[in-house]
Amino acid sequence: MNIERPTIRLKPKSDSRHLRRGFPWVYDNELVTDRRTRALPAGTIARLEDADRKPIATVTVNPASKIFARLLDRDPEAVIDRHWIATRLTRALQTRTALFDAPFYRLIHAEADGFPGVIIDRFGDAAVIQPNAAWADARLDEIVEVLAQVTGVSVVVKSGSGRARSLEGLDDASAVLLGSIEAPVAVVMNGATYMADLLGGQKTGLFYDQRPNHAFVARLAKGTDVLDVFSHVGGFALSALAGGARSALCVDGSNAALTLAWAGAKASGVADRFDSRTADAFVAMSALAEEGRTFGTVICDPPAFAPHKGARDAGLRAYEKVARLGAALVAPDGTLTLCSCSHAVDAEQFRAASLRGIGRAARSCQILRTSFAGPDHPQHPQLAESGYLKAMTFRLLG
């Protein structure tokens, strides 16, 4: 079957082998672009051919983006319809159902789940979708309908925030697309209750990616005082308290996030051991050091300091500074967990920056664990960006 659709073609010197092996993006400088291809509406489904006019895949195009084409299907004649959407959603749902006892997880992790540029987090009967690619934005109504049919969710919220949508030339509007929702949603993980604001919170309202790292740190934190810096809604702190930590202090620049952290502490029954400071993290860590405070467990989970390659050097300096300030607050033989969600910083670069910072704090350490996101955030084998999260736990000796 030869489906009627536009064709885009690789330049004569462009090597198609990485695309045939599954790399999901085609950059604008790899393609023959003319008036016809540049006039294709963003989100158009097209056939990708190599320089010899041999079909490679079905792609979606956006002439306004440096990622000109995103691979939808390795079949050049694939039909991208409701059945195609339902098949991919069902496959993702089956994996998450096998992994988790309750319907609280990342359901779709973009390219890694065969849904280019799309994030869907599930919160019980509700879901938050980030359609960060033009094709998904254009087909959003259809995706939402199929999502509700496959999963049974009755509420779907669109999160329009984030750098990815602006790079695609999309708006930043958020909206409730199905059903209605007013209050934050309670999410139970690792024995703690978190409050997720699906309408006004960061990204989808809660970061599921750190779930296994929360659990690991909680085991180490039993009986210790915990400092959770860049805490958002209390991710590491609440799980540590649920696991038997003596106390926890959350530091974040967002008062709204800390209000949700307090609500989570109360819902978890640990508010009597919980405290917070609304402050710039660097300022707060310096102030705590001046106060002579130390903690048996310190976690620093900052936002992406290096969201693109141009910010890498500055981002690495920031990660080094975080490690230095955090290490100064760790009690003898305590643990320091450092995290990075920067696409442009790989695991080895992050490790080196963290060790430089710990060394500058005049501390010796052991590396206890290096980890990544949980299994509901699968990694695409050809796309390093899908494995964005890095977390390292160190024991600081003496």
Q: What is the CATH number of the domain that holds 148?
A: 3.30.750.80
- Asked if the structure places residue 342 within a domain, the reply is yes
Shared domain for 379 and 298, answered yes or no, is yes
Shared domain for 213 and 289, answered yes or no, is yes
| pLDDT in the model for residue 307 | 86
% residues pLDDT > 90 (the chain): 87
- Band (27; pLDDT cuts 50, 70, 90): very high
Count of domains forming the chain:
3
| pLDDT in the model for residue 188 | 97
Shared domain for 373 and 237, answered yes or no, is yes
| pLDDT in the model for residue 384 | 87
Q: Are 184 and 253 in contact (CB under 8 A)?
A: no
| pLDDT in the model for residue 183 | 87
Q: Which residue has the higher pLDDT, 343 or 96?
A: 96
Best-predicted range by mean pLDDT among 35-39, 278-282, 303-307?
278-282
| pLDDT in the model for residue 104 | 98
- Asked if the structure places residue 191 within a domain, the reply is no
User: 5-14, 126-135, 158-167: lowest mean pLDDT where?
Assistant: 158-167
- Asked if the structure places residue 189 within a domain, the reply is no
- As given in the structure block, the two tokens for residue 161 are 């925030």
The range of the structural domain enclosing residue 204 comes to 197-397
Answer positive or negative: Cα dihedral of 22, 28, 31, 34.
positive
pLDDT at 2 over 70: no
Over residues 177-181, mean pLDDT? 96
Shared domain for 67 and 95, answered yes or no, is no
% residues pLDDT > 70 (the chain): 99
- As given in the structure block, the two tokens for residue 145 are 């309908």
Over residues 92-111, mean pLDDT? 97
| pLDDT in the model for residue 161 | 83
- Band (114; pLDDT cuts 50, 70, 90): very high
Shared domain for 243 and 262, answered yes or no, is yes
- Band (238; pLDDT cuts 50, 70, 90): very high
| pLDDT in the model for residue 234 | 96
| pLDDT in the model for residue 13 | 82
- Asked if the structure places residue 234 within a domain, the reply is yes
- As given in the structure block, the two tokens for residue 316 are 């690495």
Shared domain for 351 and 245, answered yes or no, is yes
The 3-state secondary structure of the chain, one letter per residue: CCCCCCEEEECCCCCCHHHHCCCCEEEHHHECCCHHHHCCCCCEEEEEECCCCCEEEEEEECCCCCEEEEEEECCCCCCCCHHHHHHHHHHHHHHHHHHCCCCEEEEEEHHHHCCCCEEEEEECCEEEEEECCHHHHHCHHHHHHHHHHHHCCCEEEECCCCHHHHHCCCCCCCEEEECCCCCCEEEEECCEEEEECCCCCCCCCCCHHHHHHHHHHHHHHCCCEEEEECCCCCHHHHHHHHCCCCEEEEEECCHHHHHHHHHHHHHHCCHHHEEEEECCHHHHHHHHHHCCCCEEEEEECCCCCCCCHHHHHHHHHHHHHHHHHHHCCEEEEEEEEEEECCCCCCHHHHHHHHHHHHHHCCCEEEEEEEECCCCCCCCCCCCHHHHCCEEEEEEEEC
Shared domain for 266 and 141, answered yes or no, is no
Shared domain for 251 and 225, answered yes or no, is yes
| pLDDT in the model for residue 1 | 57
| pLDDT in the model for residue 200 | 84
- Band (203; pLDDT cuts 50, 70, 90): confident
- Asked if the structure places residue 183 within a domain, the reply is no
Best-predicted range by mean pLDDT among 159-173, 240-254, 372-386?
240-254
Shared domain for 172 and 315, answered yes or no, is no
- 247-252/225-229 β-pairing: parallel
- Band (213; pLDDT cuts 50, 70, 90): very high
| pLDDT in the model for residue 169 | 87
User: 3-12, 92-101, 118-127, 241-250: lowest mean pLDDT where?
Assistant: 3-12
Question: Which of the listed residues 54, 73, 92 is the one where a domain comes to its end?
Answer: 73
| CA-wise closest residue to 135 among 165, 93, 108, 112 | 165
pLDDT at 328 over 80: yes
- Asked if the structure places residue 110 within a domain, the reply is yes
Shared domain for 271 and 131, answered yes or no, is no
- 330-340/295-300 β-pairing: parallel
Over residues 142-163, mean pLDDT? 95
pLDDT at 389 over 70: yes
Shared domain for 204 and 235, answered yes or no, is yes
- Band (202; pLDDT cuts 50, 70, 90): confident
| pLDDT in the model for residue 179 | 97
pLDDT at 302 over 80: yes
- Asked if the structure places residue 216 within a domain, the reply is yes
